[in-house]
Structure 1
Amino acid sequence: MPKMPNEEASTITGSDTYSTDERTLYDHADDDGYSHGRPSTELSEPGHDILESEDERERLLTKNEGIAGIFSKKGVKIGKREPTKPDGDSNQRGKKGRNGEASALMYEMEEGVGVSDQSLSRGSSESDEQRLSATIVQRKARRTRIWRRIIIYVCIMVLFLVLFFVAYRVSKPSHPTAAALMLSNGTSLFAPTTILISLDGFRADFLYRGLTPTLNRFIQNGISPKYMLPSFPSVTFPNHYTMATGLYPEAHGIVGNTFWDPSLNKEFYYTEPEKSLQPFWWGGEPLWVTAERQNVRAAVHMWPGSEAHISHIEPAYVDKYNGSEVLPLKVDRILGLLDLPGPLDTPTRLDQPRPQLIAAYVPNVDGDGHKYGPNSTEIRQTIRNADAMLESILHGLQERNLTEIVNVVVVSDHGMATTDVSRLIQLEDLIDPNDLEHIDGWPLYGLRPKRPEDLDRLHQQLIDKAKRNPNIEVYLRDKDMPKRYHFSNNERIAPLWIVPKTGWAIVTKDEFDVEKGRENGDVYHPRGLHGYDHEHPLMRAIFVARGPAFPHEANSRVEPFQNIELYNIICDTIGIEPMPNNGTLRLPLKPVGLHTDPETPPNVTPADPVETSSILASTVLTSFASLATSASGLDDPMSSFLQIPPVTTPTTSAPPASSSTSESWWEWLTHKADNVEDWVEEFLNSHMPGKGDPKSTPS
Structure 2
Amino acid sequence: MARTKYDRVDSDSDSNDSETEDEGVLRTSGDVRQHDQETLATEEEAEKMLAGGEKAAPSGHNGRSRRQKRSRSGRRTEKRALMYQMEEGGPRSSSAESSGRSSEGNDSRVGEAHAGRKSKRWRSGGFVVVYVLTVLAFGGLLYGAWRLSTHGRSETTEGVQPDEPVAPPMASELPQADDKAADSRYTPQTLSNGTHKFAPTTILISLDGFRADFLHRNLTKTLTSFVRQGVSPKYMLPSFPSLTFPNHFTLVTGLHPESHGIVGNSFFDPVLQKEFHYTDPTRSMQPEWWDAEPIWVTAEKNGVKTGVHMWPGSEVTGGIEGVEASYVDKYNGDEKLDNKVRRILGWLDLPSALDMRGGEVADVERELRPQLIAAYVPDVDSDGHAYGPNSTYIKSTIAEVDGMLASLFDGISDRNLTDIVNIIIVSDHGMATTSVNRLIQLEDLVDISLIEHIDGWPLYGLRPWDSSPEKLQTIYNDILERSRLPKYKHAFEVYLRDTDMPERYHFSKNNRIAPLWLVPKAGWAIVKKEEFEFTLDTGDHAYHPRGLHGYDNQHPLMRAIFVARGPAFPHLPGSELAPFQNTEVYNIVCDSLGLEPVANNGTLRLPLKPSGVHDFDAPLEIPEDPQDDGGMALPPEVPNLAYQHDEAQSSLPPEVPNLANRPDLVLPTDGVPLVSSLISHRPLLHATATPAVGASQSATPTEAVSEAVRTRPVVHDGITDEEQDGDINRWWSWVTGKIEAIKVWSSGLWGASKVDAAEAEQPDKSS
Give the TM-score band, short-chain normalised: 0.5 to 0.7
The structure 1 residue matched to 2:314, chosen from 306, 314, 334, is 306
Name the counterpart of 2:602.
583
Name the counterpart of 1:547.
566
Name the counterpart of 1:320.
330
Name the counterpart of 2:460.
445
The structure 2 residue matched to 1:406, chosen from 408, 421, 430, is 421
Name the counterpart of 2:214.
206
Alpha-carbon distance in structure 1 between the residues aligned to 2:335 and 2:194: 33
Task: Note the residue ranges of structure 1 that are not aligned, 5 or more in a row.
Answer: 1-175, 612-699
The structure 2 residue matched to 1:333, chosen from 337, 343, 368, is 343
Helix, strand or coil for the counterpart of 1:312? Answer: coil
Name the counterpart of 1:466.
483
- The one-letter amino acid paired with 1:332 is R
Rg larger for: 1
Confirm or deny: 8 A CA contact 2:185 2:607 kept in the other structure.
no
When residues 437 and 340 of structure 1 are mapped into structure 2, their CA distance, relative to the original with a 3 A threshold, is: same
Name the counterpart of 1:271.
279
> What are the Cα deviations for residues 149-200 of structure 1, in whole angstroms up to 9, with x where unaligned?
xxxxxxxxxxxxxxxxxxxxxxxxxxx9897431111111000000000000
Confirm or deny: 8 A CA contact 1:424 1:514 kept in the other structure.
no
Alpha-carbon distance in structure 2 between the residues aligned to 1:374 and 1:339: 36
- The one-letter amino acid paired with 2:556 is P
2:188 matched to 1:219?
A: no
Helix, strand or coil for the counterpart of 1:489? Answer: coil
> What are the Cα deviations for residues 264-315 of structure 1, in whole angstroms up to 9, with x where unaligned?
0000000000110001101111000000000011110000000111111011
Alpha-carbon distance in structure 2 between the residues aligned to 1:483 and 1:258: 22
Deviation at 1:344, TM superposition (A): 2.1
When residues 543 and 266 of structure 1 are mapped into structure 2, their CA distance, relative to the original with a 3 A threshold, is: same
The structure 1 residue matched to 2:611, chosen from 586, 592, 599, is 592
Alpha-carbon distance in structure 2 between the residues aligned to 1:294 and 1:609: 49
Alpha-carbon distance in structure 2 between the residues aligned to 1:519 and 1:538: 27
> What are the Cα deviations for residues 244-282 of structure 1, in whole angstroms up to 9, with x where unaligned?
100000000000000000000000000000110001101
Name the counterpart of 1:380.
395
Confirm or deny: 8 A CA contact 2:209 2:431 kept in the other structure.
yes
Alpha-carbon distance in structure 2 between the residues aligned to 1:260 and 1:544: 35
- The one-letter amino acid paired with 1:328 is D
- The one-letter amino acid paired with 2:452 is E
Alpha-carbon distance in structure 2 between the residues aligned to 1:179 and 1:217: 27
Name the counterpart of 1:116.
none
Confirm or deny: 8 A CA contact 1:421 1:518 kept in the other structure.
no
Name the counterpart of 2:248.
240
Alpha-carbon distance in structure 2 between the residues aligned to 1:377 and 1:252: 37
Alpha-carbon distance in structure 1 between the residues aligned to 2:315 and 2:461: 27
2:541 matched to 1:532?
A: no
Confirm or deny: 8 A CA contact 1:291 1:297 kept in the other structure.
yes
Name the counterpart of 2:622.
605
- The one-letter amino acid paired with 2:573 is A
Alpha-carbon distance in structure 2 between the residues aligned to 1:181 and 1:509: 59
Confirm or deny: 8 A CA contact 1:196 1:410 kept in the other structure.
yes
Name the counterpart of 2:236.
228
Helix, strand or coil for the counterpart of 1:299? Answer: strand
Alpha-carbon distance in structure 2 between the residues aligned to 1:546 and 1:527: 34
Deviation at 1:518, TM superposition (A): 5.5
Name the counterpart of 1:181.
189
Confirm or deny: 8 A CA contact 2:420 2:567 kept in the other structure.
yes
| Bigger shift: residues 382-391 or 446-455 | 446-455
Name the counterpart of 2:259.
251
Alpha-carbon distance in structure 1 between the residues aligned to 2:345 and 2:581: 29
Deviation at 1:610, TM superposition (A): 9.2
RMSD: 1.7
Deviation at 1:373, TM superposition (A): 0.2
Alpha-carbon distance in structure 2 between the residues aligned to 1:551 and 1:255: 36
Name the counterpart of 2:202.
194
Confirm or deny: 8 A CA contact 1:178 1:574 kept in the other structure.
no
Alpha-carbon distance in structure 1 between the residues aligned to 2:537 and 2:531: 14
Confirm or deny: 8 A CA contact 1:301 1:318 kept in the other structure.
yes
Alpha-carbon distance in structure 2 between the residues aligned to 1:442 and 1:610: 21
Confirm or deny: 8 A CA contact 1:373 1:528 kept in the other structure.
yes
Deviation at 1:520, TM superposition (A): 7.1
2:381 matched to 1:366?
A: yes
- The one-letter amino acid paired with 2:255 is L
The structure 2 residue matched to 1:558, chosen from 574, 577, 584, is 577
Name the counterpart of 1:284.
292
Alpha-carbon distance in structure 2 between the residues aligned to 1:318 and 1:597: 39
Name the counterpart of 1:507.
527
Alpha-carbon distance in structure 2 between the residues aligned to 1:587 and 1:476: 38
Aligned residue pair count = 434
When residues 364 and 316 of structure 1 are mapped into structure 2, their CA distance, relative to the original with a 3 A threshold, is: same
Name the counterpart of 2:593.
574
Deviation at 1:584, TM superposition (A): 0.2
Alpha-carbon distance in structure 1 between the residues aligned to 2:186 and 2:219: 37
Confirm or deny: 8 A CA contact 1:503 1:610 kept in the other structure.
no
Alpha-carbon distance in structure 1 between the residues aligned to 2:498 and 2:484: 21
Confirm or deny: 8 A CA contact 1:298 1:357 kept in the other structure.
yes
Deviation at 1:519, TM superposition (A): 3.8
- The one-letter amino acid paired with 2:605 is R
Name the counterpart of 1:146.
none
Calculate the TM-score normalised by the size of structure 2. 0.55
Alpha-carbon distance in structure 2 between the residues aligned to 1:474 and 1:278: 32
2:544 matched to 1:521?
A: no
Alpha-carbon distance in structure 2 between the residues aligned to 1:424 and 1:487: 25
Calculate the TM-score normalised by the size of structure 1. 0.61
The structure 1 residue matched to 2:352, chosen from 319, 331, 342, is 342
| Bigger shift: residues 194-203 or 602-611 | 602-611
2:475 matched to 1:455?
A: no
- The one-letter amino acid paired with 1:379 is I
Confirm or deny: 8 A CA contact 1:192 1:356 kept in the other structure.
yes
> What are the Cα deviations for residues 129-167 of structure 1, in whole angstroms up to 9, with x where unaligned?
xxxxxxxxxxxxxxxxxxxxxxxxxxxxxxxxxxxxxxx
Deviation at 1:488, TM superposition (A): 0.2
- The one-letter amino acid paired with 2:286 is Q
Alpha-carbon distance in structure 2 between the residues aligned to 1:518 and 1:289: 53
When residues 245 and 394 of structure 1 are mapped into structure 2, their CA distance, relative to the original with a 3 A threshold, is: same
Alpha-carbon distance in structure 2 between the residues aligned to 1:368 and 1:181: 40
When residues 402 and 440 of structure 1 are mapped into structure 2, their CA distance, relative to the original with a 3 A threshold, is: same
Alpha-carbon distance in structure 1 between the residues aligned to 2:345 and 2:561: 23
